[in-house]
Amino acid sequence: MLIEENFEIKKLTSFKCGGKVKKVIFPECVDDFSKALEENPDAKVFGNLSNTLISTDGYDGVIILTTKMDRFSFEGDTVFAEAGLKGPKLSQAAAEKGLSGLEFMIAFPGSVGGEVFMNAGAHGQSISDVFVEALCYSSEKGLFKMLKENMHFAYRTSICQKENIIILSAKFKLKPASSSDIEAKMQENLKFRKDRQPSLALPNCGSVFRNPEGDSAGRLLESVGAKNFTSGTARVYENHANFIINSADATSEEILGLMLKMHNAVKNEYNIKLMPEVRYLGGCNQREDEICKILYQK
């Protein structure tokens, strides 16, 4: 398995931001993954870094990226997919089989593991609707399987976030549908993203904050004028106030500073504390640590 030291992570992140990571491991199968974690028990695990902000000052630790664990297969209306497989690729493959349930993934840049971890969804579909079981890993249990009823799926969350459970692969049960209906739904999802959300050609991490219960983070942020907020070369997207764009070569401190400005504006106006969807990895910058204590309510 590929192991890189003092690895420049910036090029792999969708935010196009980040410094050197002490060690990055790229397992290609479950055995590789288990070995990597046994040898590096404190390693942080990520998919394709589509919703992760890594400090410009780097990370003095080990991370494991599942991007090379990307196999998938179909058996009737059931699909098995490894954690590192990109959502759009799986969505397209299901469509070609005439299977519905994963159309929402076509517009998401994330990987299967991350989408299960956060119960991703959009346009009336979500992971929890089609999820059957997952092969998981935790430091307490090692490798184990988790059925849907034990996942505690809710809006943008699962038990994995609360108990530090890592998804290695998942199984989904889909429904046969006409190719034209599936394609129409996929095109609708892509059009919505194009009209409302920034292209991946603009470095961004997707939605910055989760929607608070009964409301929309985008609506709240727009109402406090967040579309005009900037921090260095980081700016809020002009078409949707819950996205941050790295306009040039923004640092992680500038991006976190902009997140704090957005958070504080909503808190001051509505007494609502928005919770980030973006994951952060750092620890070498005191100011960033201070901001994260506020944003992530640690």
| Ramachandran region, residue 123 (left: φ > 0; alpha: ψ -120 to 50; beta: rest) | left
CA–chain centroid gap for 179, Å, is: 28
Q: How far is CA 102 from CA 32, 58, 82, 126, in A?
A: 28, 35, 15, 8
- Of these residues, 156, 193, 210, 279, which one is catalytic? 156
DSSP lists the bridge partners of residue 75 as 78
Cα R_g (the chain), whole angstroms? 19
Please state, as a whole number, how many other Cβ atoms lie within 10 Å of the Cβ of residue 219.
11
Does 277 participate in catalysis according to the annotation? yes
- Of these residues, 4, 28, 222, 277, which one is catalytic? 277
Burial class (CB in 10 A: 0-12, 13-18, 19+), 151: buried
Per DSSP (E only), the strands in 56-191 are 59-65, 72-75, 78-82, 99-100, 121-122, 125-126, 131-138, 142-147, 166-173, 175-176
- Of these residues, 91, 158, 169, 207, which one is catalytic? 207
Does 156 participate in catalysis according to the annotation? yes
Does 288 participate in catalysis according to the annotation? no
Closest by Cα among 80, 74, 73, 82 to 32: 82
Q: Which residues are catalytic?
A: 156, 207, 277
